[in-house]
Amino acid sequence: MASLIRARGLIKRFGDFTAVDGIDVDVRRGEAFGFLGPNGAGKSSTMRMIGCVSPPSGGVLEILGLDPVRDGPAIRAKLGVCPQLDNLDIELTVRENLTTYARFFGIARKVARRRADELLEFVQLTERADSKVEPLSGGMKRRLTIARALVNEPEIVLLDEPTTGLDPQARHLVWERLFRLKQQGVTLVLTTHYMDEAEQLCDRLVVMDGGRIAAEGSPRELIERYSTREVVELRFNAESQEPYASKLEGVGERLEVLPDRVLLYVADGDEAVAEVHRRSLSPASVLVRRSSLEDVFLRLTGRTLVE
Amino acid sequence: MLAVLEYHLVNYRRTWRGSALSSLVLPLLTMLGFGVGVGSYVAGGVDGVSYLDWIVPGLIASTAMQTAIGESTWPVLSAFEWLKTYFAQAAAPLRVADILGGHLAFMLFRVLISAVAFLAIALAFGTLHSWWSPVALIVAMLVGLSVAAPTAAYAATISSDSYLAILLRFAVLPMSLFSGVFFPVESLPVVLRWIAYALPLWHGVDLSRDATLGLDPGWLGLVHAAYLIAWCAAGCWLAHRRYRRRLVI
C-alpha cells in the first residue's frame, strides 16, 4: 500500500548546520510511527517539514501523495498538529479555543460547536468547557491541544513530544487517549525521548541521531536486533567498577561498565548470575531484567551527553 | 483571512467594553483639556478657525495612529514570542498572507472604532464644519494601516519588548509631536519639518483637517493619499516578508 508519508534522502539545513541529513521514512495508514532520539537529533525539524511549515532543503518528501511546498495548505487541511510547546489561546475559553481553530479549516460554526463538544468529551474536559485556559493544569492543556489537533478530523496527527513535562497520571491519560485514536484508525506520528512512551504507542519507529536514522523497526525487532533478551545489572562495593570487566569476560554477549554498575547483556539472566557466582564474584546487588528500548537507544545513540 | 479576523474579534469580545469606553473618554478629555484649557490661551485660533476646531481633526488622525501602534506592537510580539498563537495558525491551512491580513484587518477595525468614537464626540461639541467630515474616517484607516503594517513588520523582527520602547520613544513620540497635530508644521525648523513630511502621520492630519473644516485639499490631497498608500503597500510587503521568515523556516 502507498505510504501516507514518504521521505527519500530528506535534508534540512539551517545555514551551515544540517539538522536532518538524508533520511528515508515511510509511514503507512493507520499505524503509530515514532521518531526517537536525543535532543538535537533532528526529530522536531523532521516533524516541521512533515507539518508543511518548513520547506525541505533537499531530497523528496510526499505527504498524502502531495508536495508540501506546493500544496502546503491542502496537506495541512488534513493534518492535526500537537506542538511541543502548547500554543493555546490563554485568553479564550476551552471551547472557544476549539471553535475558533475549527474556523481556520473552513468548518461551519454550527459544526465547529458540535465537534468541540464531542472532542471535549473525548479528552475529558467537558466540565471545563467554559473556563479560561490559563488556570488549567499542564495535563489539561496538553489534552486540549490534542483535541484542537483533532478538530478537522485529520488523517494524520503529528505529536511532538506529547507527554514531556506531564506527571505520571496525566501521561497515562494522554497515552490512553492516543491509543483510542489509533484504534479508530487515525495515523499517529510522534516524537519522543521517552522509551516507555515509544514502547506503549509505536507500531514502528526510527531512532535518530545526529540527523540520520540509526535504526528502524518495531520496538520488539529493535530490541532483538540491538540488544539481548535480558540484562543483568551488577553493583560492586568498590571505588571503581572497571576492574570487574575482565573478570566478567565472556559471561554475556556484551558488557558495559558504568560508573556505578556493570551491565551484562545476556540471553538468560539467571544462568549469567550463576556464572558470576561460579567465578567467586560477590556483587553487592544483582538485578535481572528484560531488555528494553532504552538499552537499544543508549547503545545506538551513546551514553555521552551531547549538548 | 476572514477566519483569522473572526478569531481576533472573538478574542476582543472579552475586553471590548473597557476599550470602547476608553475610546470615548480620550476624546472627551481632549475636548475639555484643549478646547477649554489650552484653547483659551490661543486666543486668535489657527488659520482663522478656533484652536479646538483646528486641533480635533489632527487628533482623530493621531488617535488612529496611536491605536494602530498599540495593536501592532505588543500583540504581534506576543503572538510570535510569548503565546505563539501565530504558529498555531500556521499549522492550519492558512497562508502567511491570511495570518497577517486577518490581524491587520482586526487592527483596522480597532482604528475605525476609535475614530468613529472621536468623530461622534467632536460632532457633539460642534467642532465639525463640513459634510465631508466622514472622510476623516477613511483617512484614519489609511493612517492606521500605514503605521500598523510597518510596525507589525518591526515587531516580527525583534525578540524582546525593550525594542518596542525604542520604537515608541524615537519614532512614535516625535511623529505625534511634529506632525502638525498641535501646531502647524510651518512653525518647525526646516529639518524637523522634513521629518514630518517623511512620516505618514502629517499627511493624514492634513487630509483629516481638510475634511472636517471643509477645505479644498487640491492636488496636495492626492499627494497625501498616494504617499499614505505607498506606506501601506511597503509596510504590508515588508510585514509579509518578516512574517514569512518567522513562520516558514
Residue B38: what pLDDT?
A: 80
For residues B83-111, give the mean pLDDT. 96
**Which residues on B lie below 8 Å from A101 (Cβ)?**
88, 92
- The CATH class of the A228-290 domain is alpha beta
CATH number of the domain at A5-218, please? 3.40.50.300
For residues A169-184, give the mean pLDDT. 90
Cell of A128: 471545563
Contact B87 A87 (CB under 8 A): yes
Of A72, A83, A100, the CB nearest to B7: A100
- Is pLDDT above 60 for A225? yes
Counting one residue from A and one from B, how many pairs have CB atoms under 8 Å apart?
66
For residues A237-255, give the mean pLDDT. 85
Q: What percent of chain A has pLDDT over 90?
A: 61
Q: Please tell me the number of Cα atoms within 13 Å of A300 on its side-chain side.
A: 25
Cell of A147: 483535541
- pLDDT-based confidence at residue A254 (cuts at 50, 70, 90): confident
For residues B77-84, give the mean pLDDT. 94
Angle at B248 between CA B246 and CA B249, to 5 degrees: 80
Considering only residues A224 and A62, tell me which one the structure prediction assigns the higher pLDDT.
A62
Contact A73 B95 (CB under 8 A): yes
Query: 3-state secondary structure string, B170-219?
Result: HHHHHHHHHCCCCCCHHHCCHHHHHHHHHCHHHHHHHHHHHHHHCCCCHH
The predicted-structure confidence for B108-139, as pLDDT tens digits, reads as follows: 999 999 999 999 999 998 889 999 999 999 99
- A287: closest CA of chain B, how far (Å): 46
Q: What percent of chain B has pLDDT over 90?
A: 78
Nearest CA in chain A to B1: A104
* Residue showing cell 502548547: A86
* Domain segments of chain A as ranges: 5-218, 228-290
Residue A282: what pLDDT?
A: 84
- Is pLDDT above 60 for A208? yes
Spell A17-27 as b/e; 16+ CB within 10 A means b: ebbbbebebeb
Phi/psi class of residue B182: alpha, beta or left (left: φ > 0; alpha: ψ in -120 to 50)? alpha
Among B101, B103, B97, residue whose Cα is nearest residue B74: B103
* Domain segments of chain B as ranges: 2-247
> Which own/partner pairs from A64-72 qualify as long-range (CB within 8 Å, at least 24 positions apart)?
A64/A4, A64/A5, A64/A155, A64/A156, A65/A2, A72/B93
Residue A305: what pLDDT?
A: 54
Residue A307: what pLDDT?
A: 46
* Residue showing cell 500500500: A1
Nearest CA in chain A to B87: A87
- Is pLDDT above 80 for A1? no
Contact A105 B92 (CB under 8 A): yes
**Which residues on B lie below 8 Å from A74 (Cβ)?**
93
The rounded distance, in Å, linking the Cα atoms of B188 and A292 is 78
Contact B94 A53 (CB under 8 A): no
Cell of B149: 503594517
- pLDDT-based confidence at residue B17 (cuts at 50, 70, 90): confident
**Which residues on B lie below 8 Å from A55 (Cβ)?**
248
The predicted-structure confidence for B142-165, as pLDDT tens digits, reads as follows: 999 999 999 999 999 999 999 999
The rounded distance, in Å, linking the Cα atoms of B138 and B146 is 12
Residue A136: what pLDDT?
A: 93
- Is pLDDT above 80 for B43? no
- A149: closest CA of chain B, how far (Å): 9
- Is pLDDT above 80 for A306? no
Residue A303: what pLDDT?
A: 64
Contact B10 A83 (CB under 8 A): no
For residues A35-42, give the mean pLDDT. 88
A92 at interface of B, judged by CB pairs closer than 8 A: yes
Residue B37: what pLDDT?
A: 79
* C-alpha distances out from residue A19 to A10, A12, A25, A53, A304, Å: 10, 6, 16, 15, 19
The rounded distance, in Å, linking the Cα atoms of A231 and A269 is 6
Of A77, A92, A106, the CB nearest to B11: A92
Instruction: Give me chain A's average pLDDT, please.
Output: 91
